[in-house]
Structure 1
Amino acid sequence: MTDSSSNERQIQHVTNYQDLVSTPFHGEVNAICWKRELKGDFAEIVNSIALKDNITEIDTAELLDLKLSEQGQLARETLLNDLKVLKENGASPSLNLIKYYERDDAYPLFPTDVYSYHVDRSPVPTNTYLCTYYGEPSDILPNAQGIQKVLVPEIRAELKKLHGESDHGFEAFLTEYFFDLHYQAKLDAIPISLGVGNLWRLAVDHPESKVPPCLHRAPIEKDGKTRLLMIC
């Protein structure tokens, strides 16, 4: 049985930007969180921008052009500051209004969309930063509470059918189509919500990483509520 009291051992909490970007991952720690109670009306920003698609990226110029109340201006200041600080630290943040992500219907037994627990991979050292300002937050899963989907017998059998009868090149096939990045939660798993307003840094699978990559997923949107998410 999973011990909920030790469920967050992989998380280190910090209280400022500098510690968020500079604290090294170590041991079991592959997620760093700056827990924040943000001021301002982020719903006003969401409602002030017309959705162009299921995902609409908001640039700085568009944010600055919005006519907002005092509370809306406070929210905008937070967004602009988060984008600025992350860019100054070498990240490439994107601020998005998300109605929904595309679902992977091609492989119903082993979907590879972002609603599935997955890790991020990069050929060079990097991090994943994210913050949900409005709407449903993402969640993460302790690595010990997930199993790589390609190791689940029935899934692996179906993937072998998809690949063909020969085992030659099978592992490369799993990597090429990103099947190896996805995980299934164990029956006693306890996901950890990333919450609203908190700024997170998650470990990525890259050649120089000293810790396992962080398992995370996007939430299923509720009641058609648009999310406001910064990610990079």
Structure 2
Amino acid sequence: MVDPSHTGKHIQYVTNFQDFVSAPFKGDINAICWTRTLRGDFSEIVKQVALTGNITEIGPEEICDLPLSEQGQLAREILLNDLKILNAHGASPIINVVKCYDRDDTYPFFPTDVYSFHVDRSPIPVDTILCTYYGAPSEILPNTQGQKKILIPEIRDRLRKLYQGADDDFESFLSEHFFDLHYQAMPDAHPISLGLGNMWRLAVDHPESLVPACIHRAPDEKGLHRLLMIC
């Protein structure tokens, strides 16, 4: 469950799928959480999947074919049902077993991988939906507790030195390399764990968005493979 002592005003909590998909982002609300306590042993599924790399996608047929105990079967039913209801809603969910994500060391002073606090961007109206069933969950950061990295003077100065083009195109350079999507947590920031089993909708930066995009990051896996649904 989500620790209520670390929740923010930008989160709306719901108790069913219909409210989850229909609750609007408005005002300060840019994250919707369907709080759930799930039954079953999701670690069984992780252990049974044959990994093909750092991120292994598993489809419904493969999930159905896994030899599982009774507790594993309960977990499987939840995964399949989540896929079913999200597909029926028009989303395109995928289930991944994540060993780790690629690290970005192109610019050591400014990594742009998913372990950095960032927002998602899309040219069309869309939300990010995710649920961690096993392993370390993702984190979100209240927008009031994060600062856009490109606005931090010392970082901006280093980016200008890196940039070789005309001044008028500097902002385009920042966008093209995704620098403008990343945030630095303030010293007194309190990141919020998304918890296990909860399904989340996060606001995305798109032309029709009425709220700031939700700042989030992937966790340190701490040696555990994650079982993650995302769309």
| TM-score scaled by length of structure 1 | 0.96
Please give the alpha-carbon distance, in whole angstroms, between the structure 1 residues aligned to 2:52 and 2:6: 43
Aligned counterpart, 1:225: 224
Aligned counterpart, 1:48: 48
Please give the alpha-carbon distance, in whole angstroms, between the structure 1 residues aligned to 2:89 and 2:121: 20
Contact 1:12 1:31 in 2 (8 A): yes
Q: 1:6 to 1:217 in 2, by over 3 A?
A: closer
Please give the alpha-carbon distance, in whole angstroms, between the structure 1 residues aligned to 2:70 and 2:54: 28
Report percent identity of matched pairs: 67
Contact 1:7 1:190 in 2 (8 A): no
Runs of 4+ in 1 over 3 A off after TM superposition: 4-7
Aligned counterpart, 1:170: 170
Please give the alpha-carbon distance, in whole angstroms, between the structure 1 residues aligned to 2:167 and 2:123: 26
Contact 2:6 2:192 in 1 (8 A): no
Please give the alpha-carbon distance, in whole angstroms, between the structure 2 residues aligned to 1:63 and 1:26: 37
Aligned counterpart, 1:62: 62
Please give the alpha-carbon distance, in whole angstroms, between the structure 2 residues aligned to 1:93 and 1:113: 21
Contact 2:104 2:111 in 1 (8 A): yes
Q: 1:180 to 1:44 in 2, by over 3 A?
A: same
Q: Structure 2 matches for 1:1-232, cutoff 5 A?
A: 8-164=8-164, 166-222=166-222, 224-232=223-231
Please give the alpha-carbon distance, in whole angstroms, between the structure 1 residues aligned to 2:122 and 2:66: 35
Please give the alpha-carbon distance, in whole angstroms, between the structure 2 residues aligned to 1:39 and 1:212: 34
Q: 1:5 to 1:98 in 2, by over 3 A?
A: closer
C-alpha root-mean-square deviation of aligned residues, in Å? 1.3
- Following superposition, the deviation at residue 115 of structure 1 comes to 0.2
Please give the alpha-carbon distance, in whole angstroms, between the structure 2 residues aligned to 1:9 and 1:136: 23
Q: 1:81 to 1:6 in 2, by over 3 A?
A: closer
Please give the alpha-carbon distance, in whole angstroms, between the structure 2 residues aligned to 1:203 and 1:90: 17
The unaligned stretches of length 5 or more in structure 1 are none
- Following superposition, the deviation at residue 5 of structure 1 comes to 6.0
Q: How many residues align?
A: 228
- Following superposition, the deviation at residue 23 of structure 1 comes to 0.6
- Following superposition, the deviation at residue 58 of structure 1 comes to 0.5
Match of 1:170, SS state, is helix
Please give the alpha-carbon distance, in whole angstroms, between the structure 2 residues aligned to 1:154 and 1:106: 18
Contact 1:7 1:142 in 2 (8 A): no
Q: Deviations over 1:32-66 (max 9, x none)?
A: 00111100000000000111100000011100111
Please give the alpha-carbon distance, in whole angstroms, between the structure 2 residues aligned to 1:27 and 1:42: 36
Contact 1:36 1:199 in 2 (8 A): yes
Contact 2:31 2:202 in 1 (8 A): yes
Q: Deviations over 1:167-201 (max 9, x none)?
A: 12000011111110000001110100000110000
- Following superposition, the deviation at residue 205 of structure 1 comes to 0.6
- Following superposition, the deviation at residue 146 of structure 1 comes to 0.3
Q: Deviations over 1:41-100 (max 9, x none)?
A: 000000001111000000111001111111111000100111111111111111100000
Q: Deviations over 1:106-145 (max 9, x none)?
A: 1111110000000011111110000000000000000010
**Aligned partner letter, 1:230:** M
